[in-house]
């Protein structure tokens, strides 16, 4: 079945435009309710979290209406990180969890992500089953079996307490000065609270959401302000989250940014030394730097690569019983603690490494020298298929031939935005720039 609504991470789009409309959200809620309440028993539970986008109010109400119309009882968490929804779905014995967020995208976008009762994101089969219902009339509950909805006040507090337990008992962050950038997003309350309660001196950035400023010049995709704040305040480290706090970028005491590859290298080496890294294997995507792969090989560890998307990382981890994975973009998945990427918990693990070793962030977050890598994005309009152009395909074959034995090339469509992503790695930076620039030009010409 061809997907019409679901992408690589739920349903996404521009707010108040198809498919991110109240009408679609209402029907999506009803379809999910019918799917997860298929046994006909009344009283099924749904937890709904959201980030701080203005459109979350509209989508939250529409989803609630759809879910209750099929007999589901809805528990509204308010603004919480995406990983909190995964945790609370399982902790509160809900049948389904829903997060309303477009992650690192601008405030004008939004998305709807689903979690199963085990706290993990839905399988392709479950998403396709829900999508199939959207094209039909969805049976509604009888009048006396309509579901109820209520606000839950302690959901955020539960997550805060749980996040602290991911560190060894008695761990304190006293003496560490931490800049925490919450991207004016879902973690604007939780993240500073966790760090402060653990004893750190906290300097918050991006903690004043107004509905339209999520990810705007702050957060893991725009860490410049946090980096400047680290240097200005003489902080030991900066932790930058994105809008829904499922990814992280780390800033050292000099203001230098470390991506997810460096964080994964640090955690993999520490966990392997403690015999905690299952099967000596880290799972990452095809986007992760070749330098990470070489770093792991030098320590007798293995890198398993997947398609881009944290859901594919998690699927491989669950399939093989592995406990550490992630993406270069900053999704760090630690299934010992969470069912999805958790930027705050990943940041806590870096702080734990600092506390244990006495080393500064600059030493811990530069585990390997990256192979020069270049990524360029080309935006396309609906209906355009630039990768099918003969000139583009010829250019790709030529580029791959030039990189044989010297690097690698990856071209793909984004699963969350209308972008073609062109990424290459090569020790020869001149050749790297030439290849990526030439491919971008060919794709733009095809458009």
Give residue 124's pLDDT: 85
Q: Are residues 324 and 390 in the same domain?
A: no
Q: Are residues 38 and 143 in the same domain?
A: yes
Which of 205, 237, 254 finishes a domain?
254
Which of 254, 286, 311 finishes a domain?
254
Q: Are residues 51 and 75 in the same domain?
A: yes
Residues 182, 167: Cα–Cα separation, whole Å: 21
Give residue 398's pLDDT: 94
Q: Are residues 10 and 126 in the same domain?
A: yes
Asked if pLDDT for residue 42 goes beyond 70, the answer is no
Q: Is residue 58 part of a domain?
A: yes
- Is 103 a catalytic site residue? yes
Q: Is residue 359 part of a domain?
A: no
Which one of 103, 269, 288, 329 is the catalytic residue? 103
Q: Is residue 368 part of a domain?
A: no
Asked if pLDDT for residue 39 goes beyond 80, the answer is no
Q: Is residue 356 part of a domain?
A: no
Average of per-residue pLDDT across 41-68: 94
Q: Which residue has the higher pLDDT, 319 or 308?
A: 319
Q: Are residues 150 and 170 in the same domain?
A: no
Q: Are residues 23 and 148 in the same domain?
A: yes
pLDDT tens-digit map of 197-234: 999 999 999 999 999 999 999 999 999 999 999 999 99
246: containing domain: 164-254
pLDDT tens-digit map of 270-311: 999 999 999 999 999 999 999 999 999 999 999 999 998 898
Q: Are residues 209 and 89 in the same domain?
A: no
Q: Partners of 45 in the beta sheet? A: 73
Q: Is residue 357 part of a domain?
A: no
Average of per-residue pLDDT across 412-434: 89
CATH assignment of the domain containing 400: 3.30.310.50
- How many Cβ atoms sit within 10 Å of the Cβ of residue 445? 12
Give residue 414's pLDDT: 81
pLDDT tens-digit map of 1-20: 567 888 878 899 999 999 99
Q: Is residue 349 part of a domain?
A: no
State the pLDDT confidence band at 41, using cuts at 50, 70 and 90.
low
Q: Is residue 363 part of a domain?
A: no
Arithmetic mean of pLDDT over the chain: 94
Number of domains in the chain: 4
Give residue 2's pLDDT: 62
pLDDT tens-digit map of 108-124: 999 999 999 999 999 88
Q: Are residues 98 and 223 in the same domain?
A: no
Which of 155, 179, 199 finishes a domain?
155
Q: Are residues 225 and 279 in the same domain?
A: no
Q: Are residues 60 and 169 in the same domain?
A: no
**Does residue 266 have a cis bond before it (omega within 30 degrees)?**
no
Q: Are residues 108 and 21 in the same domain?
A: yes
Average of per-residue pLDDT across 360-372: 96
Three-state SS sequence of the chain: CCCCCEECCEEEEECCCCCCCHHHHHHHHHHHHHHHCCCCCCCCEEEEEECCCCHHHHHHHHHHHHHHHCCCEEEEEEECCHHHHHHHHHHCCCCEEEEECCCCCCCCEEEEEEECCCCCECCHHHHHHHHHHCCCCCCCCCHHHCCCEEECCCHHHHHHHHHHHCCCCCCCCCCCEEEEECCCCCCCCHHHHHHHHCCCEEEEECCCCCCCCCCCCCCCCCCHHHHHHHHHHCCCEEEEECCCCCCEEEECCCCCEECHHHHHHHHHHHHHHCCCCHHHEEEEECCCCHHHHHHHHCCCCEEEEECCCHHHHHHHHHHHCCCEEECCCCCEEECCCCCCCCHHHHHHHHHHHHHHHCCCHHHHCCCCCCCCEEEEEEECCCCCCHHHCHHHHHHHHHHHHHHCCCEEEEEEECCCCCEEEEEEEECCHHHHHHHHHHHHHHHHHHC
Q: Is residue 351 part of a domain?
A: no
Q: Structure pTM?
A: 0.91
CATH assignment of the domain containing 177: 3.40.120.10
Average of per-residue pLDDT across 353-366: 97
Q: Are residues 10 and 150 in the same domain?
A: yes
% of the chain at pLDDT higher than 90: 88
State the pLDDT confidence band at 412, using cuts at 50, 70 and 90.
confident
């Amino acid at each position: 079945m061809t997907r019409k609504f679901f992408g690589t991470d739920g349903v996404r789009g521009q707010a108040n435009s198809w498919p991110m409309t109240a009408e679609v959200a209402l029907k999506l809620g009803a379809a999910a309710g019918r799917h997860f309440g298929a046994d006909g028993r009344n009283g099924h539970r749904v937890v709904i979290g959201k980030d701080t986008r203005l459109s979350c109010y509209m989508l939250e109400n529409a989803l609630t209406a759809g879910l209750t119309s099929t007999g589901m009882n809805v528990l509204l968490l308010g603004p919480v990180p995406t990983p909190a929804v995964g945790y609370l779905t399982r902790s509160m014995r809900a049948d389904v969890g829903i997060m309303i967020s477009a992650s690192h995208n601008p405030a004008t976008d939004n998305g709807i992500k689903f979690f199963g009762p085990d706290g993990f994101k839905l399988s392709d089969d479950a998403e396709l089953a829900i999508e199939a219902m959207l094209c039909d009339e969805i049976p509604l509950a009888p009048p006396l079996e309509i579901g109820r909805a209520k606000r839950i006040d302690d959901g955020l507090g539960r997550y805060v307490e749980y996040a602290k337990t991911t560190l060894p008992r008695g761990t304190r962050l006293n003496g560490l000065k931490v800049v925490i950038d919450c991207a004016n997003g879902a973690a604007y309350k939780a993240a500073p609270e966790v760090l402060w309660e653990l004893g750190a001196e906290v300097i918050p950035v991006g903690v004043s959401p107004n509905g339209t400023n999520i990810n705007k010049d702050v957060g893991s995709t725009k860490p410049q302000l946090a980096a400047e704040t680290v240097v200005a305040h003489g902080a030991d480290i900066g932790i930058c989250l994105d809008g829904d706090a499922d990814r992280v970028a780390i800033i050292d005491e000099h203001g230098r940014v470390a991506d997810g590859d460096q964080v994964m290298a640090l955690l993999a080496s520490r966990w392997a030394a403690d015999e905690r890294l299952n099967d000596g294997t880290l799972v990452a995507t095809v986007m992760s730097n070749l330098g990470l792969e070489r770093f792991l090989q030098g320590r007798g560890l293995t890198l398993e690569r997947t398609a881009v998307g944290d859901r594919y990382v998690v699927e491989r981890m669950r399939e093989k019983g592995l406990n550490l994975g992630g993406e270069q973009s900053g999704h760090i998945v630690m299934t010992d603690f969470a069912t999805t990427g958790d930027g705050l918990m990943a940041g806590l693990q870096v702080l734990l490494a600092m506390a244990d070793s006495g080393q500064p962030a600059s030493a811990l977050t530069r585990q390997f020298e990256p192979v020069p890598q270049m990524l360029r994005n080309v935006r396309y309009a609906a209906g355009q298929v630039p990768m099918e152009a003969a000139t583009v395909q010829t250019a790709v074959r030529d580029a791959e031939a030039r990189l044989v034995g010297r690097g690698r090339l990856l071209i793909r469509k984004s699963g969350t935005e209308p972008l073609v992503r062109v990424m290459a790695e090569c020790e020869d930076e001149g050749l790297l720039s030439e290849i990526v620039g030439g491919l971008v030009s060919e794709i733009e010409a095809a458009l």
